[in-house]
């Protein structure tokens, strides 16, 4: 039996949700990942250090006694964020940085930034204090095709932003296009990107061919095959600018399978196995450890994990459904067979 042992991985982009959903999401992630970056797009959003610490305690309250887990909190950047908020974030080791959502870009993003130009004083302070900016990189203009929104955001906002603040520490989250790969490669070591399992394993055919498949619907939306291939090349390149961020984002089945289904793939029940599947398909399992367990920690200036995790080549089936609070959630890759599984021996 083939096995691969890696340092315990980290998830640098994760949605845990809140309240009853935490009973599902926290154990699903903590049994695999040591650290994660928790997204702040709750209702109401997590905009201050005080709100983030209260949310962190709710997360840790759902942690089984046998598990260790270190959630790092992102604060929701809004038009009302203050310089004092940035200073408080910089002083708190449990806060990783600020998340930039353009207003209306994704789930619970209505409180997001409406004027990019108004951010300049905050960005200057963040650059000075080396507080990371985590970016959902899409414009939301109604006249911009949904498949072009990442590219336009990079051209319209990110390139001018980095020209003005060249030392700003920035992560372009869940990249989906070759344009994003090129942008990250064109910048200094202060700019990096996370890549999700769904954008490595799928393209828009997997969303639309043969009927709309709501559990493959996420934002940013799956793109053309040629963009998928550029992301694959980036992940396989062993370039430390690219690292794991699942963007695991659960929604109950009733909200996904509706006339206006919501965006998000709940990959946590099989996250590291999905990445192992991808790297093995490309004969590159030796590159999984740095991508999943090394490059992200290095970028954020954190120590790599000492614990290890072993995966074994053993077919298993991703559950069709998981339950939480008397409702059903359909995992990403539900019912499909994966060839790699965490060894619990």
Tokens matching residue 75: 């604060």
Tell me, what DSSP letter sits at residue 117? G
Q: Give CA torsion, residues 170, 116, 47, 249, to 10 deg.
A: -60
Residue 199 assigned to a binding site = no
Tokens matching residue 50: 């005080």
Residues in the chain: 345
Rounded Cα gap, residues 282 and 322, in angstroms: 30
Q: For residues 287 and 236, is the Cβ–Cβ distance under 8 A? A: yes
Rounded Cα gap, residues 291 and 33, in angstroms: 13
Residue 99 assigned to a binding site = yes
For the chain, the C-alpha Rg in angstroms (whole number) is 19
Residue 263 assigned to a binding site = yes
SS3 content of the chain, % helix, strand, coil (to 5): 40, 20, 45
Q: Which residue has the tokens 């999905």?
A: 274
Q: How far is CA 262 from the centre of its chain?
A: 17
Rounded Cα gap, residues 27 and 309, in angstroms: 16
3-class secondary structure, 157: helix
Residue 49: other Cβ atoms inside 10 A: 20
Residue 215 assigned to a binding site = no
Residue 13 assigned to a binding site = yes
3-class secondary structure, 73: strand
- Give the residue from 288, 295, 204 showing the smallest Cα distance to 241: 295
Burial class of 145 by CB neighbour count within 10 A (0 to 12, 13 to 18, 19+): exposed
Active site residues: 247
Residue 251 assigned to a binding site = yes
- The DSSP bridge partners found for residue 105 are none
Residue 247 assigned to a binding site = yes
Residue 174 assigned to a binding site = yes
Residue 274 assigned to a binding site = no
Q: Binding site residues for Zn(2+), as ranges?
A: 13, 15, 99, 136, 174, 247
Q: Binding site residues for substrate, as ranges?
A: 15-17, 41, 136, 219, 251, 263
Q: Binding site residues, as ranges?
A: 13, 15-17, 41, 99, 136, 174, 219, 247, 251, 263
């Amino acid at each position: 039996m083939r096995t691969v042992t890696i340092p315990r991985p980290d998830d640098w982009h994760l949605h845990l949700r809140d309240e009853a959903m935490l009973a599902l999401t926290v154990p699903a992630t903590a049994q695999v990942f040591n650290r994660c970056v928790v997204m702040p797009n709750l209702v109401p959003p997590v905009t201050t250090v005080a709100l983030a610490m209260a949310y962190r305690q709710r997360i840790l309250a759902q942690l089984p006694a046998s598990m260790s887990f270190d959630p790092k909190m992102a604060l929701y950047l809004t038009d009302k964020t203050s310089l004092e908020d940035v200073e408080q974030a910089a002083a708190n080791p449990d806060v990783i940085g600020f998340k930039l959502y353009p207003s209306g870009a994704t789930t619970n993003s209505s409180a997001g930034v409406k004027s990019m130009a108004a951010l300049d004083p905050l960005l200057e302070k963040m650059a000075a204090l080396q507080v990371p900016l985590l970016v959902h990189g899409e414009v939301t203009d109604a006249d911009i095709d949904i498949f072009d929104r990442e590219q336009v955001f990079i051209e319209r906002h990110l390139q001018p932003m980095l020209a003005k603040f060249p030392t700003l520490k920035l992560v372009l989250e869940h990249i989906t296009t070759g344009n994003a790969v090129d942008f990250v490669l064109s910048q200094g070591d202060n700019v990096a990107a996370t890549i999700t399992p769904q954008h490595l394993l799928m393209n828009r055919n997997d969303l639309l061919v043969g009927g709309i498949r709501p559990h493959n619907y996420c934002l940013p939306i799956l793109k053309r095959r040629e963009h998928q291939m550029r992301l694959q090349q980036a992940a396989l390149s062993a370039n430390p600018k690219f690292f794991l961020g699942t963007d695991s984002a659960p929604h109950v089945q009733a909200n996904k399978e509706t006339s206006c289904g919501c965006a998000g793939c709940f990959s946590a029940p099989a996250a590291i196995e999905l990445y192992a599947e991808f790297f093995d398909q490309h004969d590159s399992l030796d590159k999984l450890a740095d991508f999943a367990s090394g490059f992200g920690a290095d970028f954020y200036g954190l120590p790599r994990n000492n614990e290890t995790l072993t995966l074994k080549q053993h077919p298993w089936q991703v559950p069709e459904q998981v339950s939480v609070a008397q409702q059903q959630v359909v995992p990403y890759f539900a019912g499909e067979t994966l060839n790699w599984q965490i060894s619990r021996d």
